[in-house]
Structure 1
Amino acid sequence: MTNASNNPEAARLETGLADMSPANFGLVMATGIISLAAFMMKFETLATGMFYLNVSQYGLLCVLYFLRAWRYPARFFGDMFTHLTGPGYFTAVAGTGILASQFMIIRGDLVGGGVLWVFALVLWLLLTYTIFVTFTITPRKPSLDRGINGGWLLAVVATQSLSVSSAVLAAGIDQPYRLELNFFALSMWLWGGMLYIWMMALIFYRYIFFNFSPADLAPPYWINMGAMAISTLAGSLLILNAPQASYLASLLPFLKGFTIFYWATGTWWIPMLLLLAIWRYVYKRFPLNYDPLYWGAVFPLGMYAACTWQLDQAMEFGFLTQLTHAFFYIALAAWTATFAGMLYTRVYRRGRAVIGK
Structure 2
Amino acid sequence: MAAGILSVGLHLIGREALSLVALAVAGSLWLLLGAEFTARLAGDRGRFRADADTPAGLTAVAATTVIGCRVSELGRQDASAALLVLAAVLWPGLTYHVVRHWRRRMPGVAFLVCVATQGLAVLAAVLAAALRLPWLDRAALAAFCLGLLLYVLALAHFDLREVAGGAGDHWVAGGALSLCALTAAKLTASPVWTGPVHTALRTAALATLALSLAWYAVLLAAEVRHPRTHYDVRRWATVFPLGMTATACLAAAQPTGIGWLRPLGTALLWIAVASCLLTLAALLSSRRARRPPPAR
Give the TM-score of the pair, scaled to structure 2: 0.92
- Cα deviation for residue 221 of structure 1 reads 0.8
Equivalent residue runs for 1:46-125 within 5 Å? 46-70=18-42, 72-81=44-53, 86-105=54-73, 107-125=74-92
- Cα deviation for residue 341 of structure 1 reads 3.0
Q: Which residue of 1 aligns with 2:101?
A: 135
- Structure 1 distance, partners of 2:33, 2:294, is 27
Q: Which residue of 1 aligns with 2:125?
A: 167
- Cα deviation for residue 78 of structure 1 reads 2.2
- Structure 2 distance, partners of 1:69, 1:293, is 24
Amino acid at match of 1:202: H
Q: Which residue of 2 aligns with 1:7?
A: none
Task: Give the secondary structure class of the aligned counterpart of 1:288.
Answer: coil
Task: Give the secondary structure class of the aligned counterpart of 1:353.
Answer: coil
Equivalent residue runs for 1:171-182 within 5 Å? 171-174=129-132, 178-182=133-137
Amino acid at match of 2:31: G
Equivalent residue runs for 1:13-52 within 5 Å? 29-52=1-24
- Cα deviation for residue 69 of structure 1 reads 4.4
- Cα deviation for residue 356 of structure 1 reads 4.9
Task: Give the secondary structure class of the aligned counterpart of 2:259.
Answer: coil
Q: Which residue of 1 aligns with 2:203?
A: 257
Note if contact 1:103-1:109 (Cα within 8 Å) is conserved in structure 2: yes
Matched, 1:228 2:174: no
Q: Which residue of 1 aligns with 2:292?
A: 353
- Structure 1 distance, partners of 2:177, 2:162, is 25
Identity %: 29
Amino acid at match of 1:131: V
| Structure 1 residues 180-230: Cα deviation after superposition (integer angstroms, max 9, x where no partner) | 100011111111111112221332xx42xxxx4788413111011101101
Note if contact 1:33-1:98 (Cα within 8 Å) is conserved in structure 2: yes
Amino acid at match of 1:129: Y
Task: Give the secondary structure class of the aligned counterpart of 1:251.
Answer: helix
- Structure 2 distance, partners of 1:214, 1:308, is 23
Q: Which residue of 2 aligns with 1:192?
A: 147
Q: Which residue of 2 aligns with 1:26?
A: none
Equivalent residue runs for 1:147-158 within 5 Å? 148-158=106-116
- Structure 2 distance, partners of 1:202, 1:92, is 22
Number of aligned residue pairs? 296
- Structure 1 distance, partners of 2:4, 2:255, is 21
Q: Which residue of 1 aligns with 2:234?
A: 293
- Structure 2 distance, partners of 1:130, 1:199, is 14
Matched, 1:273 2:219: yes
Where does structure 2 lack aligned partners over 5 or more consecutive residues?
Answer: none
Matched, 1:183 2:138: yes
Between structure 1 and structure 2, the one with the greater Rg is 1
Give the TM-score of the pair, scaled to structure 1: 0.77
Amino acid at match of 1:157: V
| Structure 1 residues 139-163: Cα deviation after superposition (integer angstroms, max 9, x where no partner) | xxx5x23xx1211001101111111
Q: CA RMSD in A?
A: 2.2
- Cα deviation for residue 124 of structure 1 reads 0.7
Note if contact 2:165-2:226 (Cα within 8 Å) is conserved in structure 1: no
Q: Which residue of 1 aligns with 2:93?
A: 126
Q: Which residue of 2 aligns with 1:333?
A: 274
| Structure 1 residues 18-55: Cα deviation after superposition (integer angstroms, max 9, x where no partner) | xxxxxxxxxxx110111110000000111111112211
Note if contact 1:182-1:238 (Cα within 8 Å) is conserved in structure 2: yes
Note if contact 2:163-2:219 (Cα within 8 Å) is conserved in structure 1: no
User: Against the structure 1 CA distance between its residues 305 and 179, is the aligned structure 2 distance closer, same or farther, given a 3 Å change threshold?
Assistant: same
User: Against the structure 1 CA distance between its residues 155 and 324, is the aligned structure 2 distance closer, same or farther, given a 3 Å change threshold?
Assistant: same
